[in-house]
Structure 1
């Protein structure tokens, strides 16, 4: 609600013409200023400079003063009207989350789970492009906690990213409030705990960003939307899993697969003949999952904020950390159908089922489950290449996705990042270009902001894989704001990899087997209609290439989405920087920022 305007009238007794003129100027300027403030109270103080009249100008000429008053007042009124429109569009959504332990038994075995407001999985967040989402997180666990927002770009504000390189964790029995704007984003995202192995106990949920009403989406509005979270799951407590990793023992295979927290009992109600949007996200720790619906096809319309070319699939692979949205037109025959999620590239194959329940159905879901792929790597890679950008569709803003011609921009730097399994000091670790990441006590972002020495060194990791043994370190790559770079993820292991880049989406321009080679491999890049996304898979003994426009200043986590590997060092940070100290490029440190390490209150 706008605050009432209050102001004092200047005294006129004893004023000369110039004094009276100056008083009138100040009065009108204050009126405009206060009208502006009443409409948009959260604007930064610096933005009010258009209303401030310099005294030196006032004294020169009352006529000039009068003209300046009118000009500034009109500008102020125009600003008020435009900001009023923005304020009306950019809603605020306030969430209060209490994070606790609670008893759950998703696979039939009682265990300790992490709940948000008593829910497992956590509540689904639904917001609209440009909304301001304010989340007060109350940590009732016995360990420090952070929640990260997978795919939310946090424009100009890596302060809100919720990882240990940018934030001090929330201590037990304390709270911290995330203040995020969903700037120019649409699509399907998730959130989860980023600290330790908390993610293995829950605390995750869906985060959906809808398009503004003035921006059409490239498909007819579905009758309803469903948020579907698929994940691998372990019966062991998350601290026991963490102890396994700390001991250097191999991480075990999962005990099962879940769909929205259950292996079998989840159901989705539908009306025959209607079309539904399924937002499917893989929130697991280690395992790629294939998704399909008995008797139905999946029309892919979005991946991680990108509208796609709407290919139709019988089933689709969704790798760790990835999200995809499908349109499904329900069969006219009123019966129930199985929804199936099964693991990829594992032995044995784990399967979970849910049920699509049709109104008026008298036939429960039955018959054999629809077959899915198991270990066909080339099948998956070939499918990945069919996922293409819808060049004519609008994204979050009223311009076609293909209006930014990424394939014609000069690459200023190439990073080739190779993951590897290593033994360091006799313990199992994972590294990127022979550096296994260790979190310092002081978050990198805070150390950078306060110029604290000894926390990290820029470019402490090589641009290409070096020879020699792996070492422990704090890997930070220094880059320049607005650079356009190429990143190649080289996987020389016989394991599936998945990489996520906070603060960004990127063009997934190529997948291939063997070693990446700049001369040969770039010939096969998709430089026309590759999708943008925030998580990319890398197949065993293969490579994946992405192009990134570094348009978001900050300290950003580039990590393995395979959580045990990330816990044991397969991550780094990218510092995107310029020397301009301005809210136009990066917001200042939040007033509520938690301080720790070498920077304590």
Structure 2
């Protein structure tokens, strides 16, 4: 065959290969080197967990249906897992980065996470999930943008700004861990950070000299999307920008009915998007404030985060008192009513063109009900522990999902109670047996004296009700069955309850936990096991080739193989090049 006659065939295969290699959803790739650095966010040198030498870490910027590949190199002196909070990894809990589903990454090892942000949009964050490491940093923002063909329910903002707020201690995570292990409370934090930096010196008595503060620069007349996440340990924070309205537009993957707030309470683990128009004069800069809530405000006054909003034509520095927080000392319903006012925008498209409100959650029959009640920490087997429904969760040596995959018996029990235990609390690896394609009602009852938030991996749930007192079946009459917000992290006020509804359509083993880091660390969590009873490979992705093994499966672990850390897109490119060379060789025959 002559070379000319081979050309049409050659180009046909070239076109076919190009289609095979690039026709799927796009990939976004990140390399994370997780290490310690010395930093002084509150003016005191301390050990901080950085990513690529920076604290906070980089913001992951992706788009609906992207395949996200993050190669993590653990340069800490202890094991590591990275968790992608609020990212609903469809059909794969293998990449969730929590102890119930993944073995930790050993020190000096690489491990590559790969998952698809399928049919999802919104504002989220990531963090290290074990060993209390989030208290030392290692966190960053995670954005999922709409595809171009799906409209957003507001004019495209001029800029997109990520703001990470959270309480902070000048002791590192290992010291804080020892305090908890010794049966003590952590006590009042030393400050509140905004994007990893301490407060602007708004008060010479409360703020010492030499603290680096965050400055956000903007142009007058422009509207910005400001994404705010509370990445702290246990403190609810009120977020506000002096003289500026916060137009709430989205929370954790759901567009909201757009409402103006002068300030909003953001609880631990929660994320919000605000549209903020720079419509003030530029006589001076403006304060950005994150101050503690539900505490003794006079005692906690020094624990306040302050950043600066700087107009490009500003004529001077911010000065004077901070804008006031909500004055609800004698009205405990203020913050709850604010939370109830956040509604789902049922006329807006989400990640797909169909309206978000097309899912009529209020008309679906509930198949299972769980009442999860917490209490203040209590002694169990001589240890100070936290509980959900009388059970303090013990993480197994062999992750639950791996135990299922390789048929390791005795790792956990599928006996988590539907209602709180009547007897003494106990420490167990007790898991909720979720029904695939069921519809679960969960009542979170907070019998502690402090604010709590709860998060569930793998799902956005519908927040349908909250109130003070004990939940009863009559409480269902107060549920919002039309436009309750769908989100991943719910606040539960002290002495109150919050009800959520969950459509169990995502196969896997999913973490349900207290987002308050101290309560989580001491045992306030469980897992919901959702398994398709039919033998099929279509509802869950297979165990990844680079899976780590530990516990009863430790002998299966092979030595570190860097080649397994190569992103799939890189493999596809190699395949394309190899096949191209084969076809070219055939053409020369």
Whole-angstrom distance in 1 between the partners of 2:249 and 2:537: 35
Whole-angstrom distance in 2 between the partners of 1:558 and 1:194: 13
Match of 1:183, SS state, is coil
Whole-angstrom distance in 2 between the partners of 1:585 and 1:558: 21
Confirm or deny that 1:491 pairs with 2:440.
Answer: no
Q: Quote how far apart the aligned CAs of 1:422 are.
A: 1.9
2:104 corresponds, among 165, 169, 187, to 169
1:200-211 matched pairs, under 5 angstroms: 200-211=135-146
Whole-angstrom distance in 1 between the partners of 2:534 and 2:90: 16
Asked whether the 8 Å contact 1:344–1:373 carries over to 2, the reply is no
Whole-angstrom distance in 2 between the partners of 1:231 and 1:424: 30
Q: Quote how far apart the aligned CAs of 1:244 are.
A: 0.6
1:143 corresponds, among 78, 83, 98, to 78
Whole-angstrom distance in 1 between the partners of 2:99 and 2:501: 26
Q: Quote how far apart the aligned CAs of 1:32 are.
A: 9.7
CA gap 1:487/1:37 in 2 versus in 1, 3 angstroms: farther
Match of 1:136, SS state, is strand
Whole-angstrom distance in 1 between the partners of 2:506 and 2:145: 22
CA gap 1:32/1:505 in 2 versus in 1, 3 angstroms: farther
Report the counterpart of residue 302 of structure 1 in structure 2: 250
Stretches (4+) displaced over 4 A: 31-38
Asked whether the 8 Å contact 1:139–1:172 carries over to 2, the reply is yes
Whole-angstrom distance in 1 between the partners of 2:48 and 2:224: 31
Report the counterpart of residue 339 of structure 1 in structure 2: 288
Q: Quote how far apart the aligned CAs of 1:38 are.
A: 4.9
Number of aligned residue pairs: 527
Q: Quote how far apart the aligned CAs of 1:579 are.
A: 2.2
Report the counterpart of residue 433 of structure 1 in structure 2: 389
Q: RMSD value over aligned CA atoms?
A: 1.7
Asked whether the 8 Å contact 1:227–1:278 carries over to 2, the reply is yes
Report the counterpart of residue 531 of structure 1 in structure 2: 485
Report the counterpart of residue 328 of structure 1 in structure 2: 276
1:312-461 matched pairs, under 5 angstroms: 312-334=260-282, 335-347=284-296, 348-349=299-300, 350-373=303-326, 377-420=332-375, 421-458=377-414, 460-461=415-416
Deviations 1:21-50 (A, max 9, x none): xxxxxxx9xx99997665235xxxxxxxxx
Whole-angstrom distance in 1 between the partners of 2:91 and 2:17: 23
Structure number with the bigger relative contact order (C-alpha 8 A, sep ≥ 6) is 2
**TM-score, structure 1 normalization:** 0.86
Whole-angstrom distance in 1 between the partners of 2:225 and 2:361: 29
Whole-angstrom distance in 2 between the partners of 1:377 and 1:183: 39
Report the counterpart of residue 417 of structure 2 in structure 1: 462
- The gaps in structure 1 that reach 5 residues or longer are 1-8, 10-27, 42-82
Confirm or deny that 1:292 pairs with 2:259.
Answer: no
Report the counterpart of residue 67 of structure 2 in structure 1: 132
Whole-angstrom distance in 1 between the partners of 2:251 and 2:406: 38
Report the counterpart of residue 20 of structure 2 in structure 1: 40
CA gap 1:331/1:35 in 2 versus in 1, 3 angstroms: closer
Larger Rg: 1
Report the counterpart of residue 93 of structure 2 in structure 1: 158
Report the counterpart of residue 577 of structure 2 in structure 1: none
